[in-house]
């Protein structure tokens, strides 16, 4: 009898763990000298929206797509923000520190998958932040698993 491999969403503790992660993370972002200006006008629900997005990417409920418009919406949120690589790196470092602080799993397999997504996702955000606002076709949400990318981002 084979066991089903849990999604990253279930492995990290589900929606409650992601809400805890993002709430703690964005409280740190608000006082970070490099990141605070980027998020100065952040909606109070932003941490929850990011938790929903990450949850969906990691195999959880499709709440972000249903409620916020999916991947296309996330892409448009970064247009014309002109993010720098220094800001990207600080965002990743602070999120990983917060993952430690909030008790996300520390096993190498999970952390490798988490880091792979954060590197990929934040680099996409920086690229899109250099673009001016324009219409975006709806694309499937990224689907991240244990060391591989699924869906439209799967290597040919």
Every domain of the chain and the residues it spans: 26-151
In whole angstroms, give the CA distance from residue 26 to residue 16: 15
Sequence-distant (≥ 6) Cβ neighbours of residue 77 within 8 angstroms: none
Fold of domain 26-151: Globin-like (1.10.490)
| Tokens encoding 86 | 């220094």
Main-chain phi, psi angles of 144, to 5 degrees:
-100, 140
Chain Cα centroid distance, residue 11? 16
Predicted confidence band of residue 125 (pLDDT cuts 50, 70, 90): confident
Structure confidence by residue, pLDDT tens digits, 28-65? 999 999 999 999 988 999 999 999 999 999 999 999 88
Structure confidence by residue, pLDDT tens digits, 66-89? 888 766 667 766 666 788 999 999
Q: 2-6, 20-24, 67-71, 118-122 — which is least confidently predicted? A: 67-71
């Amino acid at each position: 009898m084979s066991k089903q491999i849990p999604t990253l969403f279930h492995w990290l503790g589900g929606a409650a763990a992601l809400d805890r992660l993002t709430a703690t993370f964005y409280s740190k972002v608000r006082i970070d000298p490099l990141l605070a200006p980027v998020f100065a006008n952040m909606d109070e629900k932003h941490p929850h929206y990011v938790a929903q997005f990450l949850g969906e990417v990691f195999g959880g409920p499709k709440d972000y797509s249903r409620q916020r418009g999916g991947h296309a919406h996330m892409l448009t949120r970064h247009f014309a923000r002109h993010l720098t690589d220094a800001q990207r790196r600080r965002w990743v470092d602070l999120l990983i520190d917060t993952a430690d602080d909030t008790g996300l799993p520390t096993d190498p397999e999970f952390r490798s998958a988490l880091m792979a997504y954060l590197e990929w996702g934040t680099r996409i955000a920086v690229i899109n932040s250099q673009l001016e606002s324009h219409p975006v076709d709806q694309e499937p949400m990224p689907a991240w698993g244990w060391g591989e990318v699924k869906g439209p981002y799967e290597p040919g």
